[in-house]
Amino acid sequence: MERIANLVAAGVAAVALLGACAAPGGGPPTP
């Protein structure tokens, strides 16, 4: 169970980091 929790936490952290990097304009251009 701990491994699953770690994977979920890692996934959430990865999504949060990607979102934070893409929001300011680091990713595709946004209006």
22/3 Cα distance (integer angstroms): 28
- Quote the pLDDT of residue 11: 84
pLDDT above 90: percentage of residues in the chain: 16
Write the pLDDT tens digit of every residue in 7-21: 999 888 888 776 666
Question: Is 22:28 a contact under the CB 8 Å cutoff?
Answer: yes
- Quote the pLDDT of residue 14: 81
- Quote the pLDDT of residue 4: 92
Alpha-carbon torsion (26, 28, 23, 18), positive or negative? negative
Question: Has this prediction a pTM greater than 0.75?
Answer: no
Average pLDDT, the chain: 73
